[in-house]
């Protein structure tokens, strides 16, 4: 389980940084600002790392389920990874933009982001941890 946690946290962090550079690249390119080249380069380099870490997270989940001989462990790991990813990816992206970790944009068209209050995100993470521990029998 430790590898699932480690790789998913790393994947989520890199994903948040990648998203920051991707959006900066698109905004600067649209405005004709040459600074887009830096963000484009970062976005593409980090995109490879993000994909690799995403695959690594899947492998870690599979090995955890095989090691524990339980498909329920794999399912609870997926649930936990999704909670970790939602919290950390958004938080890292928000902080790269100079906002608070749990910042919610008032200008987004995403209903999920408006639903993602700190209380909801932390409750989801806590629930995922509890379910994972119950399934593991701890």
Averaged pLDDT, groups of 10, the chain, 138 residues long: 92 95 91 89 93 96 92 94 95 93 83 84 96 89
pLDDT for position 110:
78
Q: Which two tokens stand for residue 83?
A: 């909670």
> What is this structure's pTM?
0.87
Sorted by sequence, the CB contacts under 8 Å of residue 83 that are 6+ apart come out as 121, 124, 125, 127, 128, 129
Give residue 22's region: left, alpha or beta (phi > 0; psi -120 to 50): alpha
Number of H helices, E strands in the chain: 5, 0
Structural domain total, the chain: 1
Domain span holding position 39: 2-136
């Amino acid at each position: 389980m430790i590898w699932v946690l480690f790789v998913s946290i790393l994947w989520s962090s890199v994903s948040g940084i990648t998203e920051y550079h991707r959006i900066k690249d698109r905004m600067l390119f649209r405005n004709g600002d040459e600074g887009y080249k830096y963000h484009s380069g970062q976005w593409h380099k980090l995109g490879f790392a993000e994909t690799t870490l995403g695959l690594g997270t899947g492998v870690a989940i599979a090995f955890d389920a095989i090691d524990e001989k339980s498909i329920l462990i794999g399912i609870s790991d997926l649930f936990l990874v999704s909670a970790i990813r939602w919290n950390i990816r958004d938080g890292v992206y928000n902080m790269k933009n100079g906002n608070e970790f749990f910042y919610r944009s008032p200008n987004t068209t995403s209903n999920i982001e408006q639903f993602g209050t700190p209380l909801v995100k932390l409750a989801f993470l806590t629930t995922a941890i509890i379910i994972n521990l119950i399934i593991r029998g701890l």
